[in-house]
Amino acid sequence: MMEWVQIISNLLTNNIRIFLCLFLVAELLKLPRIQRNAAGLSLGVAAVITVLTLLPLSQFYLTGIEIVALMAIAHYLFHEETRMCLFLIFFYEISVALWDFLISAGLGMIFQSERFVDSTTSEYMIAIWIVRLFMIGIATYIVKKRNTVVHPSFRLAAIIALLGMFGVIALSEQNVISLNDDQLTSWTILSLMTVLAVLLFNLNRKYEMEKEIAQLKEEQAALLERNYEALRDVYSTHAKLFHDLHNHVEIMYRYLTQGKAAEATQYLEALRTPIREITQTVWTGEEAVDYLINSKIALAAQSHIEVKANIEFPRHTNIRSTDLVAILGNLLDNALEAAENANGDLRFISLTIRRINEMLVIKVENGYRTAPVTKDGKLQTSKSDKELHGWGLKSACAAVERYDGTVEISYEKNIFRVVTTLSYNTI
């Protein structure tokens, strides 16, 4: 009876360890949250590992089999960052085994019994359950702090790694229970490697963040360049009009003095067309934002794309013009590109800006011919150069995040919709 209890206990603790490994990988790499079938997969691997423990296999082979199984599950669930997944899974296994050893040895010291370090005893399972409950507590804390500005995962990993290293050093100085010197030496080396692995992972994440920020800045610079070109075209049209103004006045004067009112009216109508095109409608009161909206509307008109704009913008807010340009510029650029490839009634763009209490809602809708490509729930650029493109929406999201905002994307019946919300303060 006791043997069956121990087998079931092993199954449960193995399942907890494996499932929390997948959870931690998803959190640290900011991957899509683990799916429901992850629980079933982890239970299956736990069952296999539990059965293998009944066979005369060393812990080295059992750990190797578990790492391979976890890598297969991680690849199936996440489909990306294989190297980093392997890195995290490897050091996760080392860290869990280290703390199993530390807690069992610590309890052995407290109760002055070496049964706690014997893996075949019930006392050892008590130590393992303490570690698993502690792991569940950490996972619960991470879930609660998931949406905070500073994610707690790395800080907790660093603290746990350092405590593990100090714990091994403390055990090497005790003489209450008998511990193998080679075992202590191995754990000392592995605990030091774990601390270095945490530091290395943090440096890698910072490098990736800096790389992404640099790419976002490049995209924003490209957006500003495109808007500058559009504005230069507008000013060029202005310059041509005013340069020829004296000629237009002279012709109008001659028509009127000769009593040719019909010709004068026709000539004026011809002049009104470019004037209407370069007249800047005031949409928001922010000059740069208004220029942007008007230039995009003009580009849409050139491509025979219908644009509907319904804008109610609050005055004197803490929302910077540069952030609005980044958001609207990228969303409208994407909408223009999709609408240009659409047919018939789908060649349209709808821009809506509304304030609701102290929330600014920006909605951009457009028709499309081909459904957007997604990978792991993320939109993928349709351009061939993946490295230089695909950052428009990320740049908009980065600007939205500065105002504790959200970005919601949906598409159905050949209509693509992006809704962003920004919190603002009146100044």
Tell me what pLDDT residue 377 has.
46
Number of neighbours of residue 65 by Cβ within 10 angstroms: 15
Q: Are 219 and 395 contacting, i.e. CB atoms less than 8 angstroms apart?
A: yes
Instruction: Please tell me the pTM assigned to this model.
Output: 0.56
The CATH number covering residue 381 comes to: 3.30.565.10
Q: Which of 196, 161, 218, 272 is nearest to 389 (CA)?
A: 218
Confidence of residue 23 (pLDDT cuts 50, 70, 90): confident
Share of the chain above pLDDT 90, in %: 16
Are 175 and 285 in the same domain? no
Domain count, the chain: 3
Tell me what pLDDT residue 33 has.
61
Domain hosting residue 134, numbered range: 2-205
Q: What is the mean pLDDT of the chain?
A: 80
Are 40 and 187 in the same domain? yes
Tell me what pLDDT residue 230 has.
60
Q: Beta strand pairing status for 348-356 and 306-311?
A: parallel
Confidence of residue 330 (pLDDT cuts 50, 70, 90): confident
Q: Which of 344, 383, 347 is nearest to 365 (CA)?
A: 347
Tell me what pLDDT residue 261 has.
83
Instruction: For residue 44, give the amino acid letter.
Output: G
Distance (Å, whole) CA 89 – CA 43? 17
Are 117 and 135 in the same domain? yes
Contacts of 343 (CB under 8 A, 6+ apart): 369
- For 349-391, give the DSSP string: EEEEEEEETTEEEEEEEEE-SSPPEEETTEEE--SS-TTTSS-
Among positive and negative, which fits the CA dihedral 410, 150, 143, 80? Answer: positive
Tell me what pLDDT residue 271 has.
66
Confidence of residue 276 (pLDDT cuts 50, 70, 90): low
The reply to whether 222 falls in a domain is no
The reply to whether 74 falls in a domain is yes
Q: Could you say which of 255, 279, 303 is where a domain stops?
A: 279
Which residues are paired to 310 by β-bridges? 352
Are 373 and 256 in the same domain? no
The reply to whether 218 falls in a domain is no
Tell me what pLDDT residue 229 has.
64
Is the model more confident about 123 or about 154? 123
Kindly tell me if the per-residue pLDDT of 222 is higher than 70: no
Q: Which of 382, 379, 280, 380 is nearest to 341 (CA)?
A: 382
Q: How many helices (H) and strands (E) does the chain have?
A: 12, 7
The reply to whether 237 falls in a domain is no
Are 322 and 193 in the same domain? no
Tokens of 76: 């199936």
The reply to whether 38 falls in a domain is yes
Share of the chain above pLDDT 70, in %: 80
Are 200 and 273 in the same domain? no
Phi and psi of 361, rounded to 5°?
A: -110, 125
Are 340 and 365 in the same domain? yes
Confidence of residue 390 (pLDDT cuts 50, 70, 90): very low
Q: Beta strand pairing status for 359-367 and 415-423?
A: antiparallel
